[in-house]
Structures are given as structure tokens and as C-alpha cells.
Amino acid sequence: EADLSEANLINADLSGAFLQGAKMQHANLSQADLSGAHAEEADLRGANLSNAELSGATLQGAKLQGANLSNTDLSGAHLEEADLSSINLGNADLSGARLQGAKLQGANLSNTDLSGAHLEEADLTGANLHDADLSGALLQGARLQGARLRQADLSGAHLEEADLRDADLRGPALEQFVNPDPQVADALQHRLVGARQSATEEPVAAVGMTSFGARPVERQRRDQHVVAVVEQPGQAEGPAVEARIV
């Protein structure tokens, strides 16, 4: 296992390198090329990987707590079960990345491209996803409690069994799930159904995510479904919006 802790590797060419289990805490890998690198179980805590190239890299089980990966290309990377808590991934490209079961608590993912990413069972508790692109992302069973999703794009995302308690969905983040475009409603039925304006109103055919100003305040289980209840800020009274995720 290589020990590259605190090493200066700015602009280094490590494409395709075998770095399994390497110790790289606080290493400076800014603008380095690690595309296709094999770094399973590597220790990159506190490392600087800003503007680095990590497309297609394999980082399953890697430790990246507190690392800086802002503006980094991680498209198609494998990060299953990786620890990315408190990491800075602002403006990064994680399109198509595999993050199943990853720990992303408190991570900065603002303006990050997560389109088509695999985030099943990932822990995004308290993560900052402001303006993130989550279109087509797979978030089944993900933990998003207290996550900031304001202005995030969740079009086509799958959120079955996801936990959105106390998540901030203000802005266009919730619109598709509450007021779907009739032309796409049928295509959304397999993702989210049962959205309604009150407990007695008939649910809409399908929903897909934005009621302007909506914010989830409660989550319950009813008839084997996950139900997120959201309120409309700025209104003294009025019906809550209930979105059922199946």
C-alpha cells in the first residue's frame, strides 16, 4: 500500500494507476489525471482533488471525508459505499456515477451534475444540493433528511422509499410531483403517484417534483407506501400537499 500522505501531486498523470488501499491523506492532487484509476479502499481524507480528472475511476469503499473535489470530473466513477461525508463536490460532474450506499452526510453538492447517478440507499442527510442536477437519478431508499434541494432539478428522478423529512424543496424542486405536465403524467406513474391537495381529494394520476415554495414537514407510512406531507410557506391556512412515493 503506497503512502502518499501530504504529497504534492499537482497535475500528476495517474490515469489507470493502481492505488488500492493507498494512504493519500491531505495529498494535493489538484488538476491531477486519475481517470480510470483503481483506488478501492484508498484513504483520501482531507485531500485536495479540485479540478482533477477522475472519470471512470474506481473508488469503492474509499475514505474521502473532508476532501475537496470541487469542479472535479467523476462522471461514471464507482464510489459505492465510499465515505464522502462533509466533502466539497460543488460544481463537480458525477453524471452516471455509482454511489449506492455512499455516505454523503453534510456534503456540498451545490451546482453538481448528478444526472443519471445511482444513489440508491445513499445517505445524503443534511447535504447541500442547491441547484444540483438530479434529473434521472436513482434515489430509491436514499436518506435526504434535512437536505437542501432548493432549485434542484429532480425531473425523471426515482425517489421510491426515499426519506425527505425536513428537506428543503422550495423552488422548482417539487413542481413535477405536485403539478405534473399532463403530457408526461403517464410516464411518471411508476415513480410517484397519489399526490393530492387534501386528505379527501382524489389523487392525481402521477406526479413528478415542483410546488413553488413547498417544504416537506412530515413523513408517514400508510398502506405500505411512503407519504411525504408538505406545507406551503407564506400561507396562514390552506391544504397541505401530500405526495405518496411508492
Q: What is the pLDDT of residues 39-68, one digit of tens each?
A: 999 999 999 999 999 999 999 999 999 999
Grid cell, residue 156, equals 425523471
Instruction: Name the band, by pLDDT with cuts 50, 70 and 90, for residue 174.
Output: low
Q: Is the alpha carbon torsion for 222, 176, 120, 125 positive or negative?
A: negative
pLDDT of residue 173: 59
pLDDT of residue 205: 33
Dist. CA 123–CA 179, nearest whole Å = 28
Residue matched to cell numbers 500522505 = 5
